[in-house]
Amino acid sequence: MVGGLFIIITSQNYLKKVVGLAIFQTAVFVFFVSLAKVLDGTAPILTKMANAYSNPLPHVLILTAIVVGVATSALGLALVLQIYKNYETIEEKEIESLELKSDK
Amino acid sequence: MNFLLINFFLISLLLVTTFFIFKTTSLISIVALTGAFTLLCSAIYVNLDAVDVAFTEAAVGSGISTILMVMAAAKLPEGKKNKLINLFPSIILAVAISLILIIIIANLPLLGDPNAPIHLHVVPEYLKESKDFFHIPNVVTNILASYRGFDTLGETIVIFTAGLGVIALLTSNTLNRKTNFKKNKKNER
């Protein structure tokens, strides 16, 4: 999780930043699902053989969150493409210098 | 014991993948590594008994999102040798956040403890009743579609909005900035 945050802050490439965001999200998902684990439990599908189930509630929340996360990263990628169309680069420093130049 | 060992192994693989994503500059290999990352995550979900989540992660997270990223990476230029920015403050921030997280995790109930607070509140009723109410053995489906149907409706709205945003962003090419920038570039030449 911290690795994802680290990538977001330190890398200059915008696509890499989007990837960092996705990693950050996925780490949080893994944390949530690990809270739902019950030792000796099985997947929450009711059968006669099992007597303990994992907690289904975090699973539901994470199902929703995964799909929303993909939608978010799709939006981010569209933004990156639009930035590339306008500036012909996706490196943060280069965009900064172009902006400074155009202000003069 | 076995379960913990597998989990530990998978999570260390995740860390290795993250490190390589951090290191590589080529866009297409970043995308491929992200696909591997999400696939590893779905293996972890299977190990943690969350089969539905593993399905979704493998299909949506590792499938659709990788396809989208490949499509984006095909249009973008090759990544340059990345000079890291803000290196020092971000190291401090990362260490501080990991310390805080470790303190929090030390206070959580143990992994797999059946008496942890989250297993005691609404979930026992869900597990007991949902079979009689909806006649579907999969409790995750029952909660997703029935008990928390409005959540899923909200999710659908979010995806719809995101889709609209993507279409609007990709089809519009009449931004002011572009014309300004192009003009400046012509003047420079």
**DSSP states of A27-58:** HHHHHHHHHH-BTT-B-SB--SS-S-B--HHH
Report the predicted TM-score, pTM, of the whole model to 2 decimal places.
Answer: 0.79
What confidence score (pLDDT) does residue B174 get? Answer: 56
- Spell out, as residue ranges, where chain B has pLDDT lower than 70: 1, 79-86, 112, 173-189
Which one, of A29, A45, A37, lies nearest residue B52 by Cα?
A: A45
As beta bridge partners, residue B112 has: A38
Residue type, A100: L
The helix/strand/coil state of B41 is helix
- Is pLDDT larger for residue A10 or for residue A29? A29
Which chain B residues are Cβ-neighbours of A51 within 8 angstroms? Answer: none
CA distance B78 to chain A (A): 10
Asked whether the predicted pLDDT for residue A54 surpasses 80, the reply is: no
Residue type, A28: V
- A2-103 belongs to CATH 3.90.220: no
Based on C-alpha coordinates, what's the Rg of chain B?
A: 23
Domain boundaries, chain B: 1-78, 129-189
What confidence score (pLDDT) does residue A15 get? Answer: 72
Give per-residue pLDDT as tens, A31-42.
888 877 777 777
Contact state of B79 with A60 under an 8 Å Cβ cutoff: no
- CA nearest A92 in B: which residue? B85
Which chain A residues are Cβ-neighbours of B65 within 8 angstroms? Answer: 22, 70, 73-74
Backbone φ and ψ for B110, nearest 5 degrees, come out as -65, 155
CA–CA dist A23, A8 (Å, integer): 10
Residue type, B131: K
What confidence score (pLDDT) does residue B13 get? Answer: 86
Chain B, 46 to 65: residues with Cβ < 8 Å from chain A are: 48-53, 56-57, 60-61, 64-65
What confidence score (pLDDT) does residue B53 get? Answer: 85
Contact state of A102 with B61 under an 8 Å Cβ cutoff: no
Angle at A58 between CA A55 and CA A64, to 5 degrees: 140
Give per-residue pLDDT as tens, A73-97.
889 888 888 888 777 777 777 777 7
Given 3-state DSSP classes, what are the helix, strand and coil percentages for chain B, each rounded to the nearest 5? 80, 0, 20
Do A80 and A33 meet the contact criterion of CB atoms below 8 Å apart?
Answer: no
CA–CA dist B85, A28 (Å, integer): 25
**Closest in A6, A56, A66 to B22, CB measured:** A6
What confidence score (pLDDT) does residue B184 get? Answer: 57
Which chain B residues are Cβ-neighbours of A90 within 8 angstroms? Answer: 76-77
Q: How many residues does chain A have?
A: 104
- Residue A57: CA count within 13 A, CB half-sphere: 13
What confidence score (pLDDT) does residue A6 get? Answer: 55
Domain boundaries, chain A: 2-103
CA–CA dist A80, A13 (Å, integer): 10
Do A19 and A7 meet the contact criterion of CB atoms below 8 Å apart?
Answer: yes
Does ipTM come in above 0.85? no
What confidence score (pLDDT) does residue B83 get? Answer: 63
Do B10 and B40 meet the contact criterion of CB atoms below 8 Å apart?
Answer: yes
What confidence score (pLDDT) does residue A104 get? Answer: 61
Tokens of B189: 């030449």
